[in-house]
Amino acid sequence: MSLLVVGTVAFDSIHTPFGKVEKTVGGAATYIALSASFFTKNTGIVSVVGEDFPETTLHKLKKQNINIDGLQIIKGGKSFYWSGKYHEDLNNRDTLVTELNVLADFNPVVPKQYLDADFLMLGNLTPAVQQSVINQMSKRPKLIVLDTMNFWMESMPQELAKTISMVDVLTVNDAEARQLSGEYSLVKAAKKILKMGPKYLIIKKGEHGALLFDNKQVFFAPAIPLEEVFDPTGAGDSFAGGFIGYLDKTKDISFDNMKRAVIFGSAAASFCVEKFGIDRLLEISDDEMHDRIKEFINLVQFDIQL
Amino acid sequence: MSLLVVGTVAFDSIHTPFGKVEKTVGGAATYIALSASFFTKNTGIVSVVGEDFPETTLHKLKKQNINIDGLQIIKGGKSFYWSGKYHEDLNNRDTLVTELNVLADFNPVVPKQYLDADFLMLGNLTPAVQQSVINQMSKRPKLIVLDTMNFWMESMPQELAKTISMVDVLTVNDAEARQLSGEYSLVKAAKKILKMGPKYLIIKKGEHGALLFDNKQVFFAPAIPLEEVFDPTGAGDSFAGGFIGYLDKTKDISFDNMKRAVIFGSAAASFCVEKFGIDRLLEISDDEMHDRIKEFINLVQFDIQL
């Protein structure tokens, strides 16, 4: 396997201004792997679910060439469950319920065939679990991408700092970048965060796009202005999945190729938000992706001769 | 004169997280004309000030080739005064004081040499005053750009709707686009607003960039990620001034050239926020503008072959 994805596989109940859905399949690893599977056919998941997790979804994952040998199914256990309600602006949400269930005792075991994966995507999880996966790898992956969130910044900052120091790319949203760095300016925040270890930082700004920083350069990808954002759940994970899926496909981790990966990640996220849950990610056609990328080009392309 | 600018010329007291300044020169027409003057040397102002307005500023305007024949100076009158305080995020501010003073009885008179201007920029003012200027023109300008704000949407929506129906380009911020249209989605908001008359709509999103819409296309320009945004006052007006100044310079009102104008407007705004008030606009060099435009190109340029 060339791309290993670690993260939650879960149930979500989602309430947006446009409707609600109960106990639909979600989870960071689910969104990441499905989004990556558009680009690459060598993705494996390491995660855990309970006996309540639907067989049909496991079949859907396998149908997308996602290897689930590393997905533990706990007999008698219940899958991780999250419930949230979005505000009108869709950039803010309230968490209503978080039930860790089988995730509370999750001890990830990377199966043999994943141990030398070139690309490792650490979806949002306990920093110690993320570290455990890095430490199990038989060789250092070419690229480790880490997603995390404010919860870990508050509850276990030192453990998180250690995980951050072990990765190549960190993805956080703008509020989290500010919290992690103590800087309001995202440029200053990026400088501080890049000193914590990662060579690259991606700041996700939701409907306002995403920024990719290294020590010298910055690249910006807008979000496609959509008539309707139906459900933003999983948009950040779909972005990360498209990003690392494209890098795995092309095996090129130069800054210029990361720019392309950011655009493909943004495109994947733009599809994700068009329907509730994972539904839209299961049905992206090549033509639709082609047209969406064309939209990005038209959206930002201008011709000024200097 | 080929570019006529109408709007306030005023005093501002500004409080930002980085400092405060009392009674500095501001006003929509001031920012617009100074920003436009980087691109074009044929700008005239129609506005009003009191006897308290500093001679030195009038000289600075003239030095930038801004014609002030249309700037009424009211004997014994006091200039328009605004005082505001910005929140930490700089996207929100509280107005502390608004003193209309000489603006209360402002009756704009377009001097003869401006009556056939090709480009007319209506800075934020009472909608009736904006209409009066349009009605005084001896021929319909090639392009009329209107800036307005939430205050007029609330206090005189019908008068404002009439002014909007008379112009080619409307510029508002994202909150105002939502308020004017009653739509949360900016894509839906743009569709509704374009039905009110204008052929083009620019939605300014502050640090999140700007969107240019016509009936068929949308273009997005990011804001340059700045290490320090010192004072956002006048950023929107500097944007508008750069936009119409570039159009006046090039005399080309195609969508492709408007894209360029949006980038130059964004560049002007990015300079404006680097210092308090109008100071930075008075000292932009050609080299600095060249480098800033290069930054925009690097920021959004990516190479995906379809």
Residue range B279-293, pLDDT digits in tens: 999 999 999 999 999
Work out whether strand B210-213 and strand B218-221 pair parallel, antiparallel, or are unpaired: antiparallel
In a domain, residue A71? The reply is no
Give the per-residue pLDDT at B172: 97
Give the per-residue pLDDT at B79: 98
Give the per-residue pLDDT at A229: 86
At how many degrees (to 10) do helices B55-63 and B28-37 cross?
Answer: 30
Cut 0.90: pTM above it:
yes
Q: How far apart are the first and last CA of chain A?
A: 46
Under-50 pLDDT residues of chain A: none
Give the per-residue pLDDT at B222: 95
Could you tell me the sign of the dihedral formed by the alpha carbons of A228, A230, A236, A239, in that order?
Answer: negative
With CB atoms and an 8 Å threshold, state whether B220 touches A225: yes
Give the per-residue pLDDT at B255: 98
In a domain, residue A180? The reply is yes
With CB atoms and an 8 Å threshold, state whether A185 touches B259: no
Q: Which residues of A touch B225 (CB under 8 A)?
A: 186-187, 211, 218, 220
In a domain, residue A58? The reply is no
pLDDT band at B89 (very low <50, low <70, confident <90, very high): confident
What's the mean pLDDT when you consider all of chain A?
96
Tens digits of residue pLDDT in A181-193: 999 999 999 999 9
| Number of domains making up chain B | 1
Q: Specify the CATH number for the domain of residue A233.
A: 3.40.1190.20
Residue of A nearest to B287 (CA): A306
Give the per-residue pLDDT at B1: 64
Q: Which residues of B touch A229 (CB under 8 A)?
A: 185
In a domain, residue A23? The reply is no
In a domain, residue A173? The reply is yes
Tens digits of residue pLDDT in A211-248: 999 999 999 999 999 988 889 999 999 999 999 999 99
In a domain, residue A269? The reply is yes
Q: What is the mean pLDDT of residues B102-108?
A: 96
Give the per-residue pLDDT at A1: 65
What's the mean pLDDT when you consider all of chain B?
96
Q: What are phi and psi of B46, to 5 degrees?
A: -115, 120
Partners of residue B25 on adjacent β-strands: B11
What dihedral angle (degrees, nearest 10) is formed by the CA atoms of A16, A21, A22, A26? -80
Task: Choose among A185, A208, A300: nearest Cβ to B227.
Answer: A185
SS3 A36: helix
Buried b (16+ CB within 10 A) or exposed e, B256-295: ebbbbbbbbbbbbbbbbbbebbbebbeebeeeebeebbee
Give the per-residue pLDDT at A114: 96
Alpha carbon of A78: minimum distance to chain B alpha carbons (Å): 38
Partners of residue B213 on adjacent β-strands: B201, B218
Residue B153: partners with Cβ closer than 8 Å, 6 or more residues away: B160, B176, B179, B180
Residue of B nearest to A207 (CA): B208
DSSP designation for B111: -
Give the per-residue pLDDT at B88: 82
In a domain, residue A74? The reply is no
In a domain, residue A279? The reply is yes
Is B151 part of the contact surface with chain A (CB cutoff 8 Å)? no
Domain of residue A259 covers 3-8+28-45+117-300
